[in-house]
Copies of this chain bind each other. A is one copy, B any other.
């Protein structure tokens, strides 16, 4: 590998560590609780991939005033016990039995709250799957089937949540309706592109504005349907007026992008945030990003007036989707990186990386991928075809054999993905 590219990869490694450090949930919660009345008892539910860190920060601030605490998080995400909290680990991205257990405990916790009692919800991404109680007449298997079907047909997370809310006894504001006399305050670490409260963790304390027509449109779009019992619930209305909840958003993909820009700037790249709401197909985003890299790198060889000048960093935040057609293993960040690698093959001084701020990308142990102009030849040297691996949605194995996976382990935060193209 070219020395300069190698140096850029080391820079990128430091950027990734730095960016994650800036979006950890603890400090965000501490900041949000600064003005929260501390000397009255409060029941706390922390839900999502960042639940432990958020709960720990709440415990630090509210101490013994937490009368009952519940953490519902993903397997492997609770690092030991948190004082004052009971912990349930559950399934993601497909809900499992423990998701139902967590939901039952959460429902008990809020039902017990009397008039004027306080409930604090600490919500982070992943909550849609981690806490789940099927509506009467449905089973967990129904919900798992629906989730798997939607995940594999390329539906966006927004669309999946719109559907799942209808099938759930806790989503779409239904948790909040269990304690109409209590005062709920929610602090939300957003993993949803537009910080839409009803989307984050499928809005357990937020009214659902989804209409029956919108549900119908999603079914039509992906040409799917479900069993009669699921279909019946799909067209049952969810709560539209909830008035015992106040909300505060404390993290978002915008902050993630801003930190990426700051770190890129400190490394001498001119940063441009091009989108904080990426929502297209991962493979196609990779192609488009590679075409931008080619244009930027050609342009300094003469012909450019209005193209972006090197050294520069192009930044996209958001959450792409993968329409699964093959049988490989990967995630949206890895797939985008592999696709981009094909488009920048042979180029010098170009590095692209994309990762999930939560440290996981699809059903893999990687957070994403980091590729350069030599990635494709590294894969071919192993006797593999990067094109075919991409076709097979097998970005994990392609990047693994090139040494191009980003592995951070669970980070404890979840404010979406960020993709960065570095050109020197």
Contacts and interface: CB of A to CB of B under 8 A. Distances in A.
Contacts of A388: 220-221
B287 A273 contact: no
Interface stretch (A54-62, A169-177, A278-286): A278-286
B295 A275 contact: yes
Contacts of A257: 306
A331 B328 CA distance: 32
Nearest to A307: B273
A220 B385 CA distance: 11
A145 interface: no
Given A287-B280, A288-B285, A295-B277, A258 B387 contact: no
A271 interface: yes
Nearest to A276: B295
B292 A275 contact: yes
A266 to B, nearest CB: 12
A304 interface: yes
Contacts of A258: 303, 305-306
A203 interface: no
A261 B271 CA distance: 21
Q: How many copies does the complex hold?
A: 2
A315 to B, nearest CB: 7
A272 interface: yes
A292 B274 contact: yes
Contact of A295 (B261, B273, B287, B308): B273
Contacts of A295: 273-277
A220 B295 CA distance: 29
A291 interface: yes
* Size bin of chain A's contact surface: 35 or more
B277 A385 contact: no
A86 interface: no
Nearest to A223: B391
Contacts of A285: 280, 284, 288
A254 interface: yes
Interface string A381-392: 000010110010
A306 B273 contact: yes
Given A279-B287, A281-B281, A284-B285, A261 B306 contact: yes
A294 B257 CA distance: 15
Contact of A277 (B194, B220, B273, B294): B294
B277 A291 contact: yes
A318 interface: yes
A196 interface: no
Interface in A365-388: 385, 387-388
Nearest to A258: B305
Given A281-B281, A305-B261, A387-B217, A291 B272 contact: no
Interface string A286-324: 011001101100110001111110000001001000000
Contacts of A385: 217
Contact of A304 (B265, B273, B278, B306): B273
Interface in A226-276: 254, 257-258, 261, 265, 271-276
Given A220-B388, A304-B273, A387-B221, A288 B278 contact: yes
Nearest to A222: B391
Contact of A308 (B272, B299, B391): B272
Which 10 pairs of residues, A with B, have the shortest CB-CB distance? A284-B284, A280-B287, A261-B306, A280-B284, A277-B291, A275-B291, A273-B307, A271-B306, A275-B295, A273-B306
Interface of A: 194, 217, 220-221, 254, 257-258, 261, 265, 271-281, 284-285, 287-288, 291-292, 294-295, 298-299, 303-308, 315, 318, 385, 387-388, 391
13 contacts: A194-B294, A261-B305, A261-B306, A271-B306, A272-B308, A273-B299, A275-B295, A276-B295, A278-B288, A280-B284, A280-B285, A281-B281, A284-B288
